[in-house]
């Protein structure tokens, strides 16, 4: 397993084999690096999430050479907000998004990594960093670059001294699948007084229901009582999976790289899952990081990482403003209903179909609508 010093000069070692780590590996292989990925788990690796890939996320994934077979995903055409008896929906301007089981996505990305020649070490524990590589089960492995893609509780971040947070907030997410045919062509976001509920179609006979709240004790069965329409639709449906939980963390790091170590995905900071942009952000970070490794400009990765995360962070803050402000949320929904083009324009900005520069104009339009709602 120990690599030669010559091989190490062009060797990238990725710690964490989830979608973010595999994206980093694929991007590095596209630039000609030799890549090893190590993860203590065995595939497929699951994680509670809404399981929707927006059009910009699919485009980023395709740039990494990954295409999800049609039978592994289910298309939906837009986003629907539901709150207090009001409904607003918008279709994507550039095609469909896909609902895809996290385990299916992981398997497809593994297959792409294998085809690309990435060395995958499953069930392998990285025990520390070395000034010239990593320690794999306490055995030294030389590596030129080290990428930490080991999640929001990253050990790599701590080992590299990058654990200084500028800010950090957390909420709690739970997910379960239900064996029922999707009832709409949209991913639905239902707003309640204590939580948000996402419903994403993942195949012709199954939906993914994801709950996000600030209460670690709130579970899906209890939360559904706030959403009688959804509760009724799911009443007779069998569970397609057990309920799984995780934290969704909004945090910004002071630094995302140091020396030969760079962080990516949730390990490098993240935005609240309410945006649905976590995977897309990780895929874009992977592409940027690989360019910086090739040009030996790690400092550029830090500034580029900040730039990539700025727009999703703004959208997350805007959406979280509505979380516990029922009056404001109602006025926003009324504005969307009064001006049917407003929500589609905001969705187009969110998924990268139009420039973020339009956000100011749409913000002014929304502000005026709130005043007149």
| Residue ranges of the chain that CATH labels 3.50.50.60 | 5-72+101-167+251-318
| pLDDT single digits (tens) 137-166 | 989 999 999 999 999 899 999 999 998 876
> DSSP 3-state assignment of 142?
strand
Q: Tell me what pLDDT residue 346 has.
A: 84
Measured in whole angstroms, the distance separating CA 259 from the mean position of its chain's CA atoms is: 26
Give the best-scoring range by mean pLDDT among 129-138, 246-255, 306-315.
129-138
User: C-alpha distances in angstroms, 132 versus 19, 39, 146, 213?
Assistant: 26, 20, 10, 42
Q: Tell me what pLDDT residue 61 has.
A: 95
| pLDDT single digits (tens) 330-342 | 999 999 998 888 8
Residues in the chain, how many? 373
Q: Is 22 exposed, middle or buried (0-12, 13-18, 19+ CB in 10 A)?
A: buried
Q: Classify residue 2 by its DSSP letter.
A: P
What tokens does 256 get?
């995302």
Q: Tell me what pLDDT residue 320 has.
A: 83
* Residue 290 main-chain phi, psi, to 5 deg: -60, -40
Q: Give the CATH number of domain 5-72+101-167+251-318.
A: 3.50.50.60
Place of tokens 């999707």: 182
* Residue 215 main-chain phi, psi, to 5 deg: -105, 110
How confident is the model over 269-283, as a mean pLDDT?
Answer: 85
Q: Tell me what pLDDT residue 358 has.
A: 52
Range from 79-83, 159-163, 214-218, 363-367 carrying the lowest mean pLDDT: 363-367
Mean pLDDT of the chain: 89
Centre a 10 Å sphere on the Cβ of residue 42 and count the other Cβ atoms it contains.
9
Is pLDDT of 52 > 80? yes
Is pLDDT of 327 > 80? yes
d(CA 256, CA 289) in angstroms, rounded, equals 11
Q: Tell me what pLDDT residue 354 has.
A: 64
| Closest to 105 measured CA to CA, from 172, 36, 58 | 58
The pairing of beta strand 238-239 with beta strand 244-253: unpaired
Q: Tell me what pLDDT residue 40 has.
A: 96
Place of tokens 């392998």: 124
User: C-alpha distances in angstroms, 149 versus 24, 73, 210, 232, 309?
Assistant: 8, 25, 23, 40, 16
* Residue 106 main-chain phi, psi, to 5 deg: -65, -45
Q: Tell me what pLDDT residue 362 has.
A: 53
Q: Is 2 exposed, middle or buried (0-12, 13-18, 19+ CB in 10 A)?
A: exposed
* CA geometry: angle 349, 355, 361, nearest 5 deg: 75
The pLDDT-based confidence of 4 (bands split at 50, 70, 90) is very low
DSSP characters over 197-212: EEEEEEETTEEEEEEE
How confident is the model over 11-19, as a mean pLDDT?
Answer: 97
The pLDDT-based confidence of 5 (bands split at 50, 70, 90) is very low
User: C-alpha distances in angstroms, 57 versus 78, 276, 279, 350?
Assistant: 14, 10, 7, 11
User: C-alpha distances in angstroms, 60 versus 177, 277, 282, 357?
Assistant: 26, 11, 9, 21
**Which residues have a Cβ under 8 Å from the Cβ of 201 and sit 6 or more positions away?**
74, 76, 99, 182, 184, 185, 187, 207, 208
How confident is the model over 122-143, as a mean pLDDT?
Answer: 94
d(CA 216, CA 1) in angstroms, rounded, equals 42
How confident is the model over 224-249, as a mean pLDDT?
Answer: 94
The CATH architecture to which 170-247 belongs is: 2-Layer Sandwich (3.30)
Is pLDDT of 361 > 70? no
| Residue ranges of the chain that CATH labels 3.30.9.10 | 170-247
Q: Tell me what pLDDT residue 185 has.
A: 94
Q: Tell me what pLDDT residue 250 has.
A: 80
User: C-alpha distances in angstroms, 366 versus 333, 338, 347?
Assistant: 10, 11, 13
The residue among 96 and 276 whose pLDDT is bigger is: 96
Place of tokens 């590996």: 25
Place of tokens 């104009």: 361
Q: Is the dihedral of CA 68, 73, 77, 79 positive or negative?
A: negative
The pLDDT-based confidence of 371 (bands split at 50, 70, 90) is very low
CB 226 within 8 A of CB 193: yes
Q: Tell me what pLDDT residue 304 has.
A: 96
CA atoms within 13 A on the CB side of 337: 14
Q: Tell me what pLDDT residue 87 has.
A: 95
CB 162 within 8 A of CB 261: yes
Is pLDDT of 364 > 60? no
Q: Tell me what pLDDT residue 139 has.
A: 93
Q: Tell me what pLDDT residue 140 has.
A: 94
d(CA 331, CA 134) in angstroms, rounded, equals 53
| Percent of the chain with pLDDT strictly greater than 90 | 68
The pLDDT-based confidence of 9 (bands split at 50, 70, 90) is confident
Is pLDDT of 287 > 50? yes
Q: Tell me what pLDDT residue 7 has.
A: 52
d(CA 180, CA 127) in angstroms, rounded, equals 44
């Amino acid at each position: 397993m120990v690599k030669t010093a010559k091989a190490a000069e062009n060797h990238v070692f990725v710690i964490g084999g989830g979608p973010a780590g595999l994206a980093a590996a694929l991007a590095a292989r596209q630039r000609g690096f030799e890549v090893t990925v190590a993860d203590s788990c065995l595939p497929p690796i699951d994680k509670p999430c809404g399981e929707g890939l927006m059009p910009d996320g699919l485009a980023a994934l395709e740039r990494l050479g990954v295409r999800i077979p049609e039978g592994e995903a289910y298309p939906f055409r837009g986003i629907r907000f539901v709150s207090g008896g009001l409904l607003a929906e918008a279709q994507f301007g550039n095609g469909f998004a896909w609902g895809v089981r996290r385990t299916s996505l992981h398997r497809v990305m593994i297959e792409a990594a294998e085809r690309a020649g990435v060395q995958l070490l499953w069930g392998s524990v990285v025990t520390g960093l070395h000034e010239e590589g990593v320690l794999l089960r306490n055995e030294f492995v030389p590596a030129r670059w080290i990428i930490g893609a080991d999640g929001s509780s990253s050990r790599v971040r701590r080992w590299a001294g990058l654990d200084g947070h500028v800010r950090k907030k957390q909420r709690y997410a739970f997910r379960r699948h239900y064996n029922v045919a999707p009832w709409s062509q949209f991913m639905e976001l239902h707003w309640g007084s204590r939580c948000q509920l996402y419903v994403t179609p993942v195949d012709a006979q199954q939906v993914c229901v994801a709950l996000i709240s600030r209460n670690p004790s709130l579970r899906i069965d209890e939360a559904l009582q706030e959403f009688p329409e959804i509760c009724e639709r799911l009443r007779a449906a069998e569970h397609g999976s057990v309920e799984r939980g995780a934290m969704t963390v909004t945090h910004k790091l002071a630094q995302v790289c140091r020396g030969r170590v760079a962080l990516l995905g949730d390990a490098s900071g993240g935005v609240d899952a309410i945006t649905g942009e976590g995977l897309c952000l990780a895929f874009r970070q992977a592409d940027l990081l690989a360019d910086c490794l090739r040009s030996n400009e790690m400092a550029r990765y830090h500034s580029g990482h900040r730039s990539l995360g700025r727009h999703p962070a703004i959208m997350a803050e805007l959406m979280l403003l509505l979380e516990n402000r029922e009056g404001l949320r109602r006025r926003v929904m009324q504005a969307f209903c009064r001006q049917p083009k407003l929500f589609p324009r905001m969705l187009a900005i969110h998924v990268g179909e139009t420039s973020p520069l339009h956000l100011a104009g749409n913000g002014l339009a929304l502000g005026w609508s709130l005043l007149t709602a």
